[in-house]
């Protein structure tokens, strides 16, 4: 009986030591991970009610080593409308350049998107600004990477007030090789709502 108790006690002590060693090893690994993966981030916020000003500030940020991350358009606390863009530091000054496209006509945006793509720019994001004429402007952010070697893209913009029509058009575009990049809801000059979808395929 005593031998059994002794063996059991030794087994428990050994298991306890092994558990503590394993736990200590895990803790050391967990402590080491943040040290290896730790990094810092730097951001720049651009906000303006004028699209021309925003494009200028975006390229100034790019020259300082920042790259576009996000854009949003909407009302401010003062009752106006501003476009707000977030840029993050990438440390490669001058690598990226930007073109901002803004129009209230979807047919015009389609042409401007393709013209920018032919010049080496690619879609990065889009939003909606309230225009001074009562409607909304669709605003697209286009980026050109000086190190890119791609052959360019073809863009197609879909705009409709009916979701059933939109699904049909998206499926047709998808069958033709177009990928959906983003969607917004825009208010037309006549007061209606329009779903605007931007799609792209490689040439």
- 63 and 30 in one domain? no
Element (H, E) at 182: strand 179-187
Same domain, residue pair 126 and 27:
no
Note the pLDDT of residue 108: 87
What is the model's pLDDT at position 168?
Answer: 94
27 and 82 in a single domain? The answer is: no
Residue 122 · residue 179 · CB < 8 Å: no
The average pLDDT across 147-160 equals 86
Number of domains in the chain: 2
Domain range for residue 10? 1-39
Which of 21-35, 50-64, 118-132, 188-202 shows the lowest per-residue confidence on average (mean pLDDT)? 21-35
Task: Name the band, by pLDDT with cuts 50, 70 and 90, for residue 3.
Answer: very low
**Interatomic CA distance for residues 174 and 172, integer angstroms:** 5
CA-angle at 124, arms to 166 and 130, nearest 5°: 65
DSSP code, position 83: E
pLDDT for 8 equals: 45
Give 189's pLDDT tier (boundaries 50, 70, 90): low
73, two tokens: 């358009």
pLDDT at 156 over 90: yes
Q: What is the DSSP string of 38-70?
A: -----EEEEEES-HHHHHHHHHHHHHTTEEEEE
Output the pLDDT for position 103.
Answer: 83
Is 85:54 a contact under the CB 8 Å cutoff?
yes
Per-residue pLDDT at 15 exceeds 80: no
Examine the domain organization and report whether 56 and 32 are in the same domain: no
Distances (CA, A) of 55 to 18, 23, 46, 71: 62, 54, 10, 12
Same domain, 134 and 147: yes
| CA–CA gap between residue 85 and residue 1 (Å, rounded) | 77
Stretch 84-94: mean pLDDT, rounded? 87
Task: Please check whether residues 111 and 23 belong to one and the same domain.
Answer: no
The number of angstroms, rounded, from the C-alpha of 123 to the middle of its chain's C-alpha atoms is 10
Instruction: Tell which phi-psi region holds residue 163, choosing left (phi > 0), alpha (psi between -120 and 50) or beta.
Output: alpha
Same domain, 32 and 50: no
Q: Is there a contact between 135 and 173 (Cβ–Cβ < 8 Å)?
A: no
Q: Which residue has the tokens 């306890």?
A: 16
């Amino acid at each position: 009986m005593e031998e059994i108790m002794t063996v059991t006690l030794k087994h428990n002590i050994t298991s306890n030591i092994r558990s503590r060693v394993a736990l200590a090893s895990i803790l050391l690994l967990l402590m080491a991970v943040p040290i290896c993966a730790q990094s810092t981030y730097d951001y720049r916020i651009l906000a303006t009610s004028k699209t021309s000003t925003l494009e200028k500030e975006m390229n100034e940020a790019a020259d300082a080593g920042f790259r576009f991350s996000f854009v949003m358009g909407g009302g401010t606390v003062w009752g106006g409308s501003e476009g707000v863009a977030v840029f993050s530091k990438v440390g490669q000054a001058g690598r990226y350049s930007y073109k901002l496209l803004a129009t209230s006509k979807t047919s015009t945006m389609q042409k401007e998107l393709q013209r920018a793509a032919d010049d080496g720019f690619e879609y990065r994001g889009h939003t909606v600004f309230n225009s001074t004429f009562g409607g909304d402007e669709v605003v697209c952010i286009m980026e050109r990477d000086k190190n890119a070697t791609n052959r360019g893209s073809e863009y197609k913009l879909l705009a409709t007030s009916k979701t059933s029509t939109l699904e049909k058009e998206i499926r047709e575009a998808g069958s033709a090789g177009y990928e959906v990049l983003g969607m917004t809801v825009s208010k037309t000059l006549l007061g209606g709502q329009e779903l605007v979808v931007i799609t792209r395929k490689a040439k």
